Amino acid sequence: MTKQIRLSAAQALAKCPTGIRGLDQITDGGLPRGRSTLVCGGPGAGKTLLGIEFLARGARDFGEAGVFVSFEERADDLAKNAFSLGFDLGRLVRSKRFAVEHIVLNRNQLLEAGEYDLEGLFIRLGAAIDAVGAKRVVLDTIEALFGVLTNEGILRAELNRLFSWLKDKGVTTVITAERGQGVLTRHGLEEYVSDCVIVLDQRVDDQIATRRLRIVKYRGSTHGTNEYPFLIDRSGFVVLPITTISLDYDSPSQFVSSGVGKLDEMLGGKGYFRASTIMISGTAGTGKSSLAAHFVDGSCRRGERCLYFAFEESPGQIIRNMRSIGIDLRKWVDRGLLGFHAMRPTSVGMETHISLMLKHIDDIQPRIVVLDPISSFEAAGTQLDAHAMLVRVIDLLKARTITTLFTSLATGAETTDQVASSVSSLIDAWISLRNLEQAGERTRSLYVLKARGMRHSNQIREFLLTDRGADLQDVYVGPGGILVGSARAAQEMQDRASAVASRREVEQKKGELERKHKAFAARIAELEAAYAAEAHDIKEAIVQEEGRLQGMLAGRSTLATDRQRATKGGRR
């Protein structure tokens, strides 16, 4: 009957955090505690520096003393190398948290024989571990210890013996090794007896060097399997854990102003979404950097930290140029709200650029980041490399709820370059700038190409750069379509002249109408007077005629009466 083995949480593989940014993420917590990790790579890959930082951070940040065993470099040289990473080994040694053992091996005295023994190394290493209570050990490099052995059986046995001794001591060990031809190490055996194997690599593509790290194996633990770019600078190792990036970042509903009021109106009256990615594209001289400067200026006015990555101009040049449109970026730099980082895209590899960006972002903790322009990365590598880099940058900044603005140089009639187009689906708001040619002159224009999640204008606006900043003119439609520049000014002048002539004509017609009205009123008054006089005469004639008729009727009545009387009198 097969016995089923169940591991409790307490029995699960314990981890020893390295403190190296990014490395603990891709190792899911650090190196295997109490076990050996092999770090191999070619010359200049950073093996020794990784070992030094592993011990120095353990002593300084985690309270775990360490012993560095060097078979090649002396203690003074190691201290100088560590100081370049910001670690004072002398101080750690004086505080009994760090020990350096420089062991010189005389290869002429080492014989390949069965009595080959590591007891001397174990005694000396054990004494150093006990002296400082070390929990961490680095052996640099293993080739110096076993380089004389050619018998594979003896070599494997001695390697197993060394690794077992270190495991019995309960120390977490990092062992460095040089790369071999077609194998990870020169002997091709160390990687098989190690619990964890890390490969450091430095490649040169198109005259640009890039450092990469890969975890080849990790017994008993999940880990990242890709190649990860890393950087060595004054703060030590910085590893970019690309595979930890996911699409579960927040999407705030708050808005952030573009810095140009009329542009905010085109974007629904509120500006960009917070933590969104904005693209400003256009040909040379259309005002891309000026809009970026407006965005930065407006953010700094709200008290938000901004980080400006410039890839074609120096910070001083940008500050000087923006002063011509009424934007003073120098005051924000002096107040610590604006930081610049200027570097040519071709100076380092794509991965190094990402590492440097992350380092500066971690140092400054900005709410706004500007990359000006991203199209210049096309010259630093292939389009695929540039696309991969920008995708990583966008995801990393979104995960940190940082609002990001890209500028991109377009050529000819294209909206933008190929690099920017390759990430167009990841852009939340896209502002396109163009030069319109009319009547022998070029005029800047602006329109919103896309704006996810918000109502936005579909009109093309004339874009002006004045000594008071950027301004957008309302759409002006003439007889032949939309007019800008001098054609617009000429049409406006013509329209004003036509308006004046129209008003003059209206006034003239109003005067003529008034005169006709008065003449008509006078004529009506004259006719009314004539009518009144004639009506009076007619009425008088009517009265007279009625009087005459009544007199005549009365006379006739009198005559009839008289006759009747006369007749009666005769009869009597």
Q: Which helix (H) or strand (E) holds 166?
A: helix 152-168
Query: How many whole angstroms separate alpha carbon 262 and alpha carbon 473?
Result: 9
What pLDDT is recorded for position 7?
Answer: 47
Query: How many whole angstroms separate alpha carbon 543 and alpha carbon 539?
Result: 6
Note if 414 is an active site residue.
no
Q: How many CA atoms lie within 13 A of 208 on its CB side?
A: 18
pLDDT digits (tens, 9 = 90+) for 500-559: 888 888 888 888 888 888 888 888 888 888 888 888 888 888 888 888 888 787 777 777
Where would I find the beta strands (DSSP E) of 219-367? Answer: 228-233, 236-239, 255-256, 272-273, 277-282, 306-310, 338-342
461-466 and 469-473 beta bridge pairing: antiparallel
pLDDT for 491 beyond 70: no
**Nearest one of 291, 295, 38, 273 to 162, comparing CA atoms:** 38
- Convert 121-151 into a string of H (helix), E (strand) and C (coil): HHHHHHHHHHHHCCCEEEEECHHHHHCCCCC
Measured in whole angstroms, the distance separating CA 19 from the mean position of its chain's CA atoms is: 28
What pLDDT is recorded for position 113?
Answer: 43
pLDDT digits (tens, 9 = 90+) for 444-477: 889 999 999 888 988 888 888 888 888 888 766 6
pLDDT for 290 beyond 70: yes
pLDDT digits (tens, 9 = 90+) for 242-273: 544 556 778 888 999 999 999 999 998 889 99
pLDDT for 15 beyond 80: yes
Beta-bridge partners for 18: none
Q: Is the peptide bond before 141 cis (omega within 30 degrees of 0)?
A: yes
**What would the mean pLDDT of 359-382 be, rounded to a whole number?**
84
What pLDDT is recorded for position 11?
Answer: 60
Beta-bridge partners for 38: 175, 197
pLDDT digits (tens, 9 = 90+) for 418-444: 656 767 788 899 999 988 776 667 788
Query: How many whole angstroms separate alpha carbon 460 and alpha carbon 93?
Result: 68
Query: How many whole angstroms separate alpha carbon 40 and alpha carbon 58?
Result: 21
Which amino acid type is present at position 422? S
What pLDDT is recorded for position 116?
Answer: 55
Query: How many whole angstroms separate alpha carbon 245 and alpha carbon 22?
Result: 12
Catalytic residue chosen out of the listed positions 64, 72, 191, 437: 72
Under the banding of pLDDT at 50, 70 and 90, the label for residue 410 is: confident
Beta-bridge partners for 179: none
Beta-bridge partners for 178: 41
Under the banding of pLDDT at 50, 70 and 90, the label for residue 356 is: confident
**What would the mean pLDDT of 213-234 be, rounded to a whole number?**
86
Note if 73 is an active site residue.
no
Measured in whole angstroms, the distance separating CA 406 from the mean position of its chain's CA atoms is: 6
Query: How many whole angstroms separate alpha carbon 357 and alpha carbon 339?
Result: 12
Q: Locate tokens 């005259």: which residue?
A: 207
**Nearest one of 353, 354, 257 to 300, comparing CA atoms:** 257
Max avg pLDDT among 156-160, 377-381, 465-469: 465-469
Tell me the pTM: 0.67
What pLDDT is recorded for position 407?
Answer: 92
pLDDT digits (tens, 9 = 90+) for 171-207: 999 999 887 666 666 665 667 778 899 999 887 776 6
Among positive and negative, which fits the CA dihedral 392, 385, 312, 271? negative
Greater model confidence, 5 or 157: 157
Counting every residue written for the chain, the total comes to 572
Interior/surface letters 55-78, b for 16+ CB within 10 angstroms, e for the rest: bbbbbbeeebbbbbbbbebebeeb
pLDDT for 115 beyond 60: no
Query: How many whole angstroms separate alpha carbon 203 and alpha carbon 45?
Result: 9
- The mean predicted confidence, pLDDT, of the chain is 82
DSSP label at residue 147: T
Over pLDDT 90: what percentage of the chain?
27
112 φ, ψ (degrees, to nearest 5): -80, 95
Catalytic residue chosen out of the listed positions 73, 158, 312, 313: 312
Q: Which helix (H) or strand (E) holds 82?
A: helix 75-83
Q: Locate tokens 């008071």: which residue?
A: 468
> Would you call 277 helix, strand, or coil by DSSP?
strand
pLDDT digits (tens, 9 = 90+) for 294-339: 999 999 999 999 999 999 899 999 999 999 999 999 999 999 999 9
- Contact assessment for residue 86 and residue 235, using Cβ atoms and an 8 Å cutoff: yes
- Contact assessment for residue 67 and residue 128, using Cβ atoms and an 8 Å cutoff: yes
Under the banding of pLDDT at 50, 70 and 90, the label for residue 114 is: very low
What pLDDT is recorded for position 389?
Answer: 79
- Convert 185-235 into a string of H (helix), E (strand) and C (coil): CCCCCHHHHCCEEEEEEEEEECCEEEEEEEEEEECCCCCCCCCEEEEEECC
What DSSP assignment string belongs to 317-338?
A: HHHHHHHTTT---HHHHHTTSE
**Nearest one of 28, 21, 9, 5 to 218, comparing CA atoms:** 28
Under the banding of pLDDT at 50, 70 and 90, the label for residue 112 is: very low
Interior/surface letters 438-458, b for 16+ CB within 10 angstroms, e for the rest: beeeebbbbbbbebeebebbe
- Token pair of 360 as six digits: 């500066």
**What would the mean pLDDT of 57-71 be, rounded to a whole number?**
91
What pLDDT is recorded for position 39?
Answer: 92
What pLDDT is recorded for position 367?
Answer: 94
**What would the mean pLDDT of 36-47 be, rounded to a whole number?**
88
Q: Locate tokens 């009329």: which residue?
A: 262
pLDDT for 293 beyond 70: yes
- Contact assessment for residue 134 and residue 171, using Cβ atoms and an 8 Å cutoff: yes
What pLDDT is recorded for position 173?
Answer: 92
Q: Which residues contact 229 (CB under 8 A, 6 or more apart)?
A: 210, 211, 212, 213, 239, 240, 349, 350, 351, 352, 354, 355
Q: How far is CA 166 from CA 5, 24, 30, 136, 162, in A?
A: 26, 22, 18, 10, 6
- Contact assessment for residue 101 and residue 43, using Cβ atoms and an 8 Å cutoff: no
pLDDT for 58 beyond 90: yes
DSSP label at residue 379: G
